[in-house]
Amino acid sequence: MVYSTVVSNKPADPAEPIFYRDMPTPLGQMRLVASPKGLRGAWFTDQDLLPSAESWTLADANPILEQARRELDEWFAGQRRTFDVPLDPIGTTFQHKVWHALCALDFGKLVSYGDLARTVGSPKGAQAIGGAVGRNPIIIIIPCHRVIGADTSLTGFGGGLPRKQALLALEGNRYVSRTARARRVCDGQAELPW
């Protein structure tokens, strides 16, 4: 994965051209947003954190947006496990550290907030990790859906728990409930009555 921005904690330059397009997915409509350097954002269109497209240009033919769309289609179809589209998210130094760590997770690998905190060198920062994960502007491609509670509970997800459950299922992790307290089901236990 190419992560174009090392750190960009300033607001986007208002003169910088920003392009967007919407795409259908099995889990609902997504909006993809690109700067000239890379993918700036990917949100489900019903997410609370979806920015206004007021100053963006609708562009179905943008090469970065087209690459992101193609790679997401392949991922949902089970034909891709990693992404190659260049990324250019806006965030603080700490958020970028967390997002880089998320990008390093293998397909299907789950991590707790505490484990992620230790990975980025903030062993007591699980709550700060939660804030950075919750502000991830590039859903699925920066795989914040792979972050779960220490007890394997689903916890939260900006796209909603039903989507998190579905995304984890696409990667081989089963949850039979869509509540934040739902715990991962080990192989063969999904049908057990307890």
Local structure of 14: helix, strand or coil: coil
| Residue-wise pLDDT tens digits, 114-154 | 999 999 999 888 889 999 999 999 999 999 999 998 888 88
How far is Cα 40 from Cα 44, in angstroms, rounded to an integer?
14
Q: Is the dihedral of CA 109, 114, 119, 125 positive or negative?
A: positive
Average pLDDT score, the chain: 87
Angle, helices 93-103/126-134, rounded to nearest 10 degrees = 80
Please report how many Cα atoms fall inside a 13 Å half-sphere around the Cα of residue 175, on the Cβ side. Answer: 28
How far is Cα 77 from Cα 70, in angstroms, rounded to an integer?
11
Which residue type, as a one-letter code, is found at position 69?
Answer: R
How far is Cα 153 from Cα 3, in angstroms, rounded to an integer?
29
Average pLDDT on 10-16 reads 69
Say yes or no to pLDDT of 189 above 50. Answer: no
Which residue type, as a one-letter code, is found at position 143?
Answer: P
Q: What is the pTM of this model?
A: 0.87
Higher pLDDT, 177 or 63: 63
Q: Known catalytic residue: 103?
A: no
Say yes or no to pLDDT of 180 above 70. Answer: no
Catalytic annotation, pick one of 98, 140, 144, 170 = 144
